[in-house]
Amino acid sequence: MSVLPLLLVGASQPARVPVERVEIVRTFPHDPSAFTEGLLYLDGKLYESTGLEGRSSIREVRLDDGKVVRQAVIPPQYFGEGIVNWGTKLISLTWQNGLGFIWDRATLKRTGEWRYPGEGWALTRNGREIVMSDGTPQLRFLDPNTLKELRRVTVTAGGSRVTRLNELEWVKGDVLANIWQTDRIARIDPASGRVKAWIDLAPLVAKVPRRGSDDVPNGIAYDAKGDRLFVTGKNWPYLFEIRTVRR
């Protein structure tokens, strides 16, 4: 497992934050060529964004067999990042271009674009606002209609700032965030930015053949109606439904 203190800015020792272990409920196929950057579950469907220049896409994926039902290609000069749904739209990010795209969710046709300062890493939503990560310890909260920034919250664990906040998902009032290049998810209080717990994904990583240093956990989706939590990773051949248990 990666060492979390390396990601805690100003920490002299590991932050003492509770750790939750995971139990696998079910395993599903996942496209092993998908460099997963964003994942969401909506109305019985998975939507996924993938990255890398020349390979980035927005996809509708069938959960049971991992089949890509439809796909839109992001222009090859862009490195695709996270996605979120709002109304009939999907909203996506690119990594270092300060440019996002807007897509029609039913057809995956690109209908617009938007701009933001800094890098784009991931998106989720809380029902009133869109939440964005940018690789720093901050979460940005955006107006979903204008995509203008409203405020920011700094994420901390044990009083130290946490960097590399990546793929996001809103789950029962918390923001879950993959911490890039680690095997952990941060469970974050969105009001204070405090990490309430780490979710240890090491049991899942042990089941995935690792082909490179970038093939790390990244991708969290929540089925609110069914109370199901799904996670996957970059170039992983599996997507897991999991439950979490406090150690």
Domains of the chain: total: 1
Q: Name the band, by pLDDT with cuts 50, 70 and 90, for residue 10.
A: very low
Q: Model confidence over 174-200: pLDDT tens digits? A: 999 999 999 999 999 999 999 999 999
**Any domain includes 8:** no
H or E element in which residue 204 lies: helix 202-205
Instruction: Provide, rounded to the nearest whole percent, the portion of the chain with pLDDT above 90.
Output: 88
Provide the 10 A C-beta neighbour count for residue 234. 22
pLDDT at 118: 96
Q: How far apart are CA 64 and CA 69, in angstroms?
A: 12
Could you tell me the CATH number of the domain that includes residue 27? 2.120.10.30
Domain extent at residue 156: 15-246
Q: Name the band, by pLDDT with cuts 50, 70 and 90, for residue 28.
A: very high
Q: How far is CA 33 from CA 17, 28, 41, 45, 51, in A?
A: 34, 15, 20, 20, 10
pLDDT at 211 over 80: no
Mean pLDDT of 61-69: 96
**Any domain includes 116:** yes
**Any domain includes 188:** yes
Q: How far apart are CA 219 and CA 57, in angstroms?
A: 15
Mean pLDDT of 219-247: 95
Mean pLDDT of 42-59: 96
Instruction: Provide, rounded to the nearest whole percent, the portion of the chain with pLDDT above 70.
Output: 94
**Any domain includes 2:** no
**Any domain includes 7:** no
**Any domain includes 4:** no
Does residue 107 contact residue 123 with C-beta atoms inside 8 Å? no
